[in-house]
């Protein structure tokens, strides 16, 4: 039974996607909605059942391998389509199907007016299936199917409203930038497959199989490249803010809760490999820190509510990479889970706001919305509190605390940076909350938020506030449900995880409070117009610190310009040259044949004389 469930869970959304695709837009929208939400809901229910079965009677060594079929077996290389069920994949499945189901439910309301809803849900369910393949695969090449599959769905959904040229460009950018990382990942897979002869994760991670040294470093670096691009970390972060061109449920599902965390999952899944590569680990931590600070700074200067959340996502993913870089695998996964909950909540609340204010996304044109939509306000506030890490009462606090403590033990400098990040996080999300929901009304909202949208908001609000209780620092209460669950995969919680100084805890609790206080000072509701800061620093931050401009100037434009110059194909000129030479020679020789008899006679005479000379010469 246990072995049957994972493929079945993947099959649910996959079947829905197939039906929706084959119906080719002829399915009535209500049926499409029911089919999609039903399929993902069924997958979620089955996953829950699977979790109950798994936890009540765990298989030995806490892992269950389901080999479906041999994919390629040639020349000593063997790849399989195979799933592994273990605590890590179980947690990921719960996130993907659980949050995924709520977002599908929400999308039923959000996309009500759209004529192309079947295509939308086809891509969404296909995405869920691909994401499930990604987290379940026991073979890296099989994982790569899911890895690219989610990228494809992300492309299709960012460009869902294709009539707008900018959306297509954003979708393309997202796919291409992540594809660069995918190419690095593929190279990593090639390296590993050459060394090991296969890409089975369990074989790969057997101690002593790969060893340390330059090979491990190179492999880890290449895999890290893939993870960085997928998870929008420096230097690949440029695609995620633009990806907000997609419908809001897409941003919630793909660009907040699941796909972007695939990089985190990959590294956690392959953590023994990264442990053998300390340089790469250090790079991971540093890049994570840099990302979280840069993105938090950018989020502080944005005016578009979805872009604020996008930069916030990049920043929070930076926390996870920081955790991974310091070896805190459990903390990274913990933050992944809580982040999936509260960021999906924030996006959906933002989407509800956007729908009510006529697709206005500029926060400076909103204001005072708290009175008109108290439910959405409450949900957004719950999500914002969790994101800021309001002490004790939110999930974000506990997961961020776990990362901060680990960072302190790895290097105090990392901890200091992360603490600054926590302060900035509280600052920017409070800014957003204060400007959007309090103060004078600038755009009058209309309509009501549908029940199908309100229910997921309510559910996720509860989770965002209480979800952290499964894992607490010892200083508060010795609850370690998640880390214990994950221990068979990620190793037992280290001593530092358990220890946790009260001082550190206090510092971690004060930083968000300070951020909220400063935000209140700066953006508390007052009469009169408010405008975004517009000095050089703010402009730089708003533009994402100019990465786009630099890449455009250094990479994209020269590449395209050179291509444009060579559009007619240099090599094509070579035969043309040959043809020209032939034509020229022919013209030269043809001049002899001008029809003048006397010249012919002259040539004949000259030729005869020459022939005679040759014949007479001994």
Partner 1 sequence: MMTLYGLVLLPLLGAAVAWLTGRASPRAPWPVAVATLVLLAALLAYITWAVPAGGGPWLAHVSAPWIPALGITLRCDMDGLSLVLLWLTVVLSFPCVLLASRDIADTPGTFHALLLATIAGVDGVFIATDLFLFFFFWELMLVPLYVLITVWGHEDRTRAAFKFFLFTQGSGLLMLLSILGLVFVHQHQTGILTFDYFALATTHLSPVLAMGLMLGFFVAFAVKLPVVPLHVWLPDTHTQAPTAASVLLAGVLLKTGGYGLIRFVVLLFPDAAARFAPVALALGALGILYGAWLSLVQDDIKRLIAYSSVSHLGFVLLGVFSASPLGMTGAVVQMVAHGLSTGALFVIAGALQDRLHTRDMRRMGGLWPALPHLSSVGLVFAIASLGLPGLGNFVGEFLVLLATWRISPPIAILGAAGLVLSALYALTMVGRAFLGPPPGDGWPALPDFGVRHMAVLGAAMALLLVLGLYPQPVLDLSLPAPLPHSALPWGPRP
Partner 2 sequence: MTATPAQALLLASMLFALGLLGVLVRRNLLFMLMSIEIMLNAAALAFVAAGMRWHAADGQVMFMMILALAAAEAAVGLAILLRLHAAGRPTLDADTGNRLKG
Rounded to an integer, what distance in angstroms lies between the CA atom of residue 252 and that of residue 270?
Answer: 26
Told to check if 73 binds partner 1 by CB under 8 A, we report yes
For 376, how many CA atoms within 13 A lie in the half-sphere containing its CB? 30
Report how far apart, in Å, the C-alpha atoms of 193 and of each of 31, 180, 209, 477 are: 45, 20, 12, 45
Q: Which does 601 bind (CB under 5 to 8 A by kind): partner 1, partner 2, none?
A: partner 2
Told to check if 172 binds partner 1 by CB under 8 A, we report yes
- C-alpha 121, offset from chain centre: 19
502 contacts 475 by C-beta, under 8 angstroms: yes
Tokens of 396: 């974000």
- Only one of the segments 72-80, 353-361, 368-376, 424-432 lies at the binding site for partner 1 (rule: CB under 8 A); that segment is 72-80
- Only one of the segments 455-463, 555-563, 584-592, 595-603 lies at the binding site for partner 2 (rule: CB under 8 A); that segment is 595-603
In the region spanning residues 141 to 160, those forming contacts with partner 1, defined by CB under 8 A, are 141, 144-145, 147-149, 152, 155, 159
- Only one of the segments 45-53, 359-367, 578-586, 598-606 lies at the binding site for partner 2 (rule: CB under 8 A); that segment is 598-606
Told to check if 591 binds partner 1 by CB under 8 A, we report no
278 contacts 213 by C-beta, under 8 angstroms: no
Residues 6+ apart with CB under 8 A from 516: 388, 390, 426, 427, 430
Told to check if 611 binds partner 2 by CB under 8 A, we report no
Q: Which does 26 bind (CB under 5 to 8 A by kind): partner 1, partner 2, none?
A: none
Q: Which does 588 bind (CB under 5 to 8 A by kind): partner 1, partner 2, none?
A: none
Told to check if 612 binds partner 2 by CB under 8 A, we report no
Told to check if 591 binds partner 2 by CB under 8 A, we report no
Q: What is the dihedral of CA 511, 516, 519, 520, to 10 degrees?
A: -140
- Closer by beta carbon to partner 2, 526 or else 598: 598
Kindly state the smallest distance separating residue 606's Cβ from partner 2, in Å.
Answer: 10
Alpha helices in 197-304 (DSSP H): 201-205, 213-230, 239-242, 248-252, 262-269, 271-275, 278-301
- Only one of the segments 206-214, 261-269, 547-555, 592-600 lies at the binding site for partner 2 (rule: CB under 8 A); that segment is 592-600
Identify the residue among 4, 560, 592, 605 touching partner 2 (CB under 8 A).
605
Closest to 153 in 3D by CA, of 55, 21, 38: 21
Told to check if 124 binds partner 1 by CB under 8 A, we report no
Told to check if 165 binds partner 1 by CB under 8 A, we report yes
Q: Is 91 left (phi over 0), alpha (psi -120 to 50) or beta?
A: alpha
Told to check if 590 binds partner 2 by CB under 8 A, we report no
Kindly state the smallest distance separating residue 46's Cβ from partner 1, in Å.
Answer: 23
Rounded to an integer, what distance in angstroms lies between the CA atom of residue 239 and that of residue 243?
Answer: 6
Q: What is the DSSP letter of 357?
A: T
Told to check if 597 binds partner 2 by CB under 8 A, we report yes
- Quick one: three-class SS letters along 492-542? CCCHHHHHCCHHHHHHHHHHHHHHHHHHHHHHCCCCCCCCCCCCHHHHHHH
In the numeric block, the tokens 């250090």 are attached to: 282
Q: Which does 98 bind (CB under 5 to 8 A by kind): partner 2, partner 1, none?
A: none
Q: Which does 279 bind (CB under 5 to 8 A by kind): partner 2, partner 1, none?
A: none
- Closer by beta carbon to partner 2, 524 or else 596: 596
Rounded to an integer, what distance in angstroms lies between the CA atom of residue 395 and that of residue 418?
Answer: 17
Residues 6+ apart with CB under 8 A from 557: none
Told to check if 598 binds partner 2 by CB under 8 A, we report yes
Binding footprint of partner 1, residue count (CB under 8 A): 53
Per-residue buried b or exposed e for 444-467, using 16+ beta carbons within 10 Å of the residue's own CB: ebeeebeebbbebbbbbbebbbeb
| Contact pattern from residue 183 through residue 202 relative to partner 1, giving x for each residue in contact according to CB under 8 A and a dash for the rest | xx-xx--xx-xx--------
Closest to 453 in 3D by CA, of 394, 379, 524: 379
Name the residues that contact partner 2, by CB under 8 A. Answer: 594-598, 601-602, 605
Name the residues that contact partner 1, by CB under 8 A. Answer: 24-25, 69-77, 81, 141, 144-145, 147-149, 152, 155, 159, 162-165, 168-169, 171-172, 175-176, 179-180, 182-184, 186-187, 190-191, 193-194, 559-560, 563-564, 566-567, 569, 571-572, 574-575
């Amino acid at each position: 039974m246990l072995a049957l469930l994972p493929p079945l869970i993947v099959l649910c959304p996959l079947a829905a996607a197939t039906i929706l695709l084959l119906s080719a837009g002829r399915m009535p929208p209500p049926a499409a909605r029911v089919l999609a939400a039903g399929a993902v809901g069924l997958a979620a229910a089955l996953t829950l059942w699977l979790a109950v079965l798994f936890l009540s009677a765990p298989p030995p060594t806490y892992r269950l391998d389901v080999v479906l079929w041999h994919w390629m077996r040639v020349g000593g290389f063997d790849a399989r389509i195979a799933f592994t069920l273990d605590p890590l994949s179980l947690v990921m499945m719960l996130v993907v199907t659980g949050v995924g189901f709520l977002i599908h439910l929400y999308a039923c309301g959000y996309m009500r007016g759209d004529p192309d809803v079947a295509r939308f849900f086809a891509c969404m369910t296909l995405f869920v299936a691909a994401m499930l393949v990604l987290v379940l695969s026991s073979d890296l090449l099989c994982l790569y199917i899911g890895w690219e599959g989610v990228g494809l769905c992300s492309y299709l959904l960012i460009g869902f409203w294709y009539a707008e040229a900018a959306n297509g460009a954003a979708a393309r950018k997202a796919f291409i930038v992540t594809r660069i990382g995918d190419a690095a990942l593929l190279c990593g897979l090639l390296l590993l497959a050459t060394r090991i002869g296969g890409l089975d994760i369990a074989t790969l991670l057997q101690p002593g199989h790969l060893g340390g040294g330059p090979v491990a470093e190179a492999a880890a670096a290449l895999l890290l490249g893939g993870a960085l691009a997928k998870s929008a970390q420096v230097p690949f972060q440029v695609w995620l803010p633009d990806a907000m061109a997609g419908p809001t449920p897409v941003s919630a599902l793909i660009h907040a809760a699941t796909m972007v965390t695939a990089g985190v999952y990959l590294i956690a899944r392959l953590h023994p490999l990264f442990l053998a590569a300390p340089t790469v680990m250090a790079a991971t931590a540093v890049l994570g820190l840099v990302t979280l600070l840069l993105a938090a700074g950018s989020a502080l200067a944005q005016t578009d509510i979805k872009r604020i959340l996008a930069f916030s996502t990049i920043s929070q993913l930076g926390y996870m990479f920081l955790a991974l870089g310091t070896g805190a695998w459990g903390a990274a996964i913990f933050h992944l889970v809580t982040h999936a909950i509260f960021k999906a909540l924030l996006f959906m609340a933002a989407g509800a706001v956007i729908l009510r204010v006529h697709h206005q996304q500029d926060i400076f044109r909103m204001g005072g919305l708290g009175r008109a939509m108290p439910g959405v306000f409450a949900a957004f506030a719950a999500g914002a509190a969790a994101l800021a890490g309001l002490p004790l009462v939110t999930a974000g606090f506990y997961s961020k605390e776990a990362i901060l403590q680990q960072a302190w033990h790895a290097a105090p400098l990392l901890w200091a940076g992360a603490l600054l990040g926590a302060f900035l996080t509280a600052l920017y999300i409070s800014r957003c909350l204060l400007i959007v929901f309090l103060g004078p009304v600038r755009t009058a909202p209309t309509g009501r938020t549908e029940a199908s949208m309100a229910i997921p908001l309510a559910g996720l609000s509860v989770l965002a506030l209480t979800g952290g209780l499964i894992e607490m620092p010892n200083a508060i209460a010795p609850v370690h449900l998640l880390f214990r669950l994950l221990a068979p995969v990620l190793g037992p919680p280290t001593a530092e995880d358990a220890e946790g100084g009260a001082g550190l805890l206090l510092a971690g609790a004060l930083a968000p409070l300070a951020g909220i206080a400063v935000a209140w000072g700066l953006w508390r509701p007052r009469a009169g117009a408010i405008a975004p800061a517009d000095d050089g620093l703010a402009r730089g931050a708003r533009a994402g610190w100019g990465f786009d401009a630099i890449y455009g100037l250094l990479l994209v434009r020269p590449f395209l310009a050179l291509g444009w110059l060579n559009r007619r194909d240099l090599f094509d000129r070579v035969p043309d040259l040959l043809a020209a030479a032939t034509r020229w020679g022919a013209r030269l020789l043809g001049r002899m044949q001008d029809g003048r008899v006397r010249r012919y006679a002259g040539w004949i005479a000259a030729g005869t004389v020459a022939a005679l000379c040759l014949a007479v010469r001994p």
